[in-house]
Amino acid sequence: MDIKQNFSLKKFNTFGVDVAAEYFAQVNSLEELLEAVTFSKNLHLALLVLGGGSNVLFTKDLTGLVIQLDLKGISEEKISDSEVLVTACAGENWHGFVEYCLRKDYGGLENLSLIPGNVGTSPMQNIGAYGTEIKDTFVNCKVLNLKTLEVETFGAEKCSFGYRESFFKKEGKGKYIILEVTFRLRTRDHVIKVEYGAIASELESLGTERPTIQDVSRAVINIRQSKLPDPAVLGNAGSFFKNPSVPKKQFLEVQKEYPNIPNFPQGEFVKVPAGWLIEQCGWKGKQVGNVASHKLQALVLVNATGGASGQEIFDFSARIIESVKDKFGIELEREVNII
Ligand code: FAD
Ligand code: EPU
């Protein structure tokens, strides 16, 4: 295994921020991973694992070792005449994996088409889109315990999934490396999820009356491509903030003043689209220095010139948080992992 020093991470994060890692290794097997982890332990180095780099913001050069996890492979086990368990190694590209399942006509992940990043990262924030989250089909994941160097298996309960949350972002943060993930998918009688309004109308405009899972995937891809910037063209990490859940009482106060506020009631809380709040504060499409809020989706911050530093993007996000707090009294929380 080749351990590089003072290595630029510009190509390893979708914001395209240019920071250096003190040490950097790309690993292709569990043996190489153990070798890299042992190297970091022996030198008492901090350790950071990277997948596709599509949900990180590097604000400074990184001391310690950065491991880019490139474990590859997909396997399956049929468990009944209508269900299959499909396991993918951490370094498999997420959308490539979704396409693999669609080619085999395995249903359950189609609404999650075109999400950037790798399979191994999908449990980190329980990736979600268009009415589906991975927790809906997740069976378990194999992880490397960084303290014991043993491989363990975590079921859904241990992962403690929530909206853009999991055990791995909380108590388990920095303690485990996810090696592979297993999903339970359907081989027939597919459940087509079109409750998310935009999918139903996109399917209609595609002229599909009895949509297949492949049609749903096409509709999701079309919607995503119509508003989300392609990181290969314009650096970004998707939604920069989570959609806030506001206590009902507080929401009703805000609604009195802003009757048009979009809202999704959830028990005692109401979810409000952060994109709307940010747009109302005048940030949509606005550029300051090298950073902007995207003109088609205010929730997505972009490296507008390609020359933004992580700190500049972070400072821009702090100004947005401040404006939203001032105008609506609602505190936005960053979704992107700040490193
Ligand atoms: P990275 O950025 O490489 O890592 C993210 C975090 O996970 C880091 O803290 C890293 O240390 C840690 N990590 C990475 N791999 C492992 C591992 N194997 N074990 C332990 N820790 C690990 N997300 C959604 O949920 N829904 C969306 O619709 C969505 N749309 C997006 C659209 C765009 C254009 C972009 C750029 C991003 C979008 N995202 C979305 C965010 C992102 O795609 C997901 O969070 C994705 O799961 C990140 O995967 P990654 O491999 O790139 O993670
Ligand atoms: N909106 C605005 N202005 C904007 C953007 C959005 O007013 O500039 C309002 C509109 O009312 C719109 C609503 O926000 O109807 C929702 O917008 P959208 O459907 O684009 O979804 P989102 O809530 O902004 C979330 C996820 C996305 C995911 C989509 C589809 C979060 C933080 N983001 O975005 O995930 O792809 O729904 O399910 O939950 C990501 O996590 O990186 C990500 C892209």
CA distances from 66 to 146, 156, 181, 199, 311 (A): 14, 27, 22, 38, 19
Which residues, 6+ apart, have CB-to-CB distance to 91 below 8 Å?
28, 51, 69, 70, 71, 72, 118, 119, 120
Q: Are residues 245 and 307 in the same domain?
A: yes
Q: Are residues 92 and 115 in the same domain?
A: yes
- Residue owning the nearest CA to atom 7 of ligand 1: 121
CATH number at residue 123: 3.30.465.10
CATH number at residue 63: 3.30.43.10
| pLDDT exceeds 90 at position 256 | yes
Q: Which candidate in 122, 164, 317, 334 is catalytic?
A: 164
| pLDDT exceeds 80 at position 197 | no
Residue 315, amino acid: D
> Whole-model pTM?
0.97
Q: Are residues 213 and 149 in the same domain?
A: yes
Site to probe by mutation for ligand 1, drawn from 71, 92, 121, 294 as the one with most ligand atoms within 8 Å of Cβ, is: 121
Query: 20-27 and 62-69 as β-strands: parallel, antiparallel, unpaired?
Result: parallel
Of 46, 69, 92, the residue at which a domain comes to its end is 69
CATH number at residue 300: 3.90.78.10
pLDDT in tens, 62-87: 999 999 999 999 999 999 999 999 99
Q: Is 186 a catalytic residue?
A: no
pLDDT in tens, 48-66: 999 999 999 999 999 999 9
What is the radius of gyration, based on Cα positions, of the chain? Answer: 21
CA distances from 190 to 186, 263, 306, 337 (A): 6, 30, 42, 34
Q: Is 239 a catalytic residue?
A: yes
Ligand index nearest the alpha carbon of residue 130: 2
The chain-wide mean pLDDT, for the chain, equals 97
Model confidence band, residue 241 (pLDDT cutoffs 50, 70, 90): very high
Please list every protein residue whose CB sits less than 6 Å from any atom of ligand 1. Answer: 14, 48-56, 69, 90, 115-118, 120-122, 124-125, 127-129, 168, 177-178, 228, 231, 236-238, 337
Site to probe by mutation for ligand 1, drawn from 124, 161, 234 as the one with most ligand atoms within 8 Å of Cβ, is: 124
Model confidence band, residue 195 (pLDDT cutoffs 50, 70, 90): confident
Instruction: Print the domain residue range for 28.
Output: 3-69
**Per-residue model confidence (pLDDT) at position 119:** 98
Please list every protein residue whose CB sits less than 6 Å from any atom of ligand 2. Answer: 129-130, 238-239, 242-243, 262, 273, 275-276, 279, 284, 297-299, 335
Of 69, 92, 115, the residue at which a domain comes to its end is 69
Q: Are residues 107 and 223 in the same domain?
A: yes
Q: Are residues 329 and 270 in the same domain?
A: yes
Model confidence band, residue 103 (pLDDT cutoffs 50, 70, 90): very high
DSSP secondary structure of 152-195: EEEEHHHHT-BTTB-GGGTTTTTTEEEEEEEEEEESSS------
Angle at 172 between CA 67 and CA 165, to 5 degrees: 95
**Per-residue model confidence (pLDDT) at position 142:** 98
Q: Are residues 53 and 99 in the same domain?
A: no
| pLDDT exceeds 90 at position 150 | yes
The pair of structure tokens assigned to 325 is 């707090």
Rounded CA separation 159/162 (Å): 9
**Per-residue model confidence (pLDDT) at position 196:** 83
**Per-residue model confidence (pLDDT) at position 335:** 97
- Residue owning the nearest CA to atom 32 of ligand 2: 242
pLDDT in tens, 285-337: 999 999 999 999 999 999 999 999 999 999 999 999 999 999 999 999 999 99
Burial class (CB in 10 A: 0-12, 13-18, 19+), 263: middle
The pair of structure tokens assigned to 138 is 């997740």
Beta partners for residue 162, in sequence order = 165
Angle at 272 between CA 226 and CA 112, to 5 degrees: 45
Of 227, 250, 270, the residue at which a domain comes to its end is 227
Of 124, 101, 125, nearest in space to 111 by CA: 101
The pair of structure tokens assigned to 66 is 């950065």
Angle at 335 between CA 147 and CA 145, to 5 degrees: 10
Q: What's the maximum distance between 2 C-alpha atoms anywhere in the chain?
A: 61
Q: Are residues 37 and 164 in the same domain?
A: no
Q: Are residues 90 and 142 in the same domain?
A: yes
Q: Are residues 37 and 85 in the same domain?
A: no
Percent of the chain whose pLDDT exceeds 70: 100
| pLDDT exceeds 90 at position 114 | yes
Q: Are residues 120 and 220 in the same domain?
A: yes
| pLDDT exceeds 90 at position 209 | no
Per the structure, the count of domains in the chain is: 3
Q: Is 253 a catalytic residue?
A: no
| pLDDT exceeds 80 at position 122 | yes
Q: Are residues 159 and 219 in the same domain?
A: yes
Q: Are residues 332 and 288 in the same domain?
A: yes
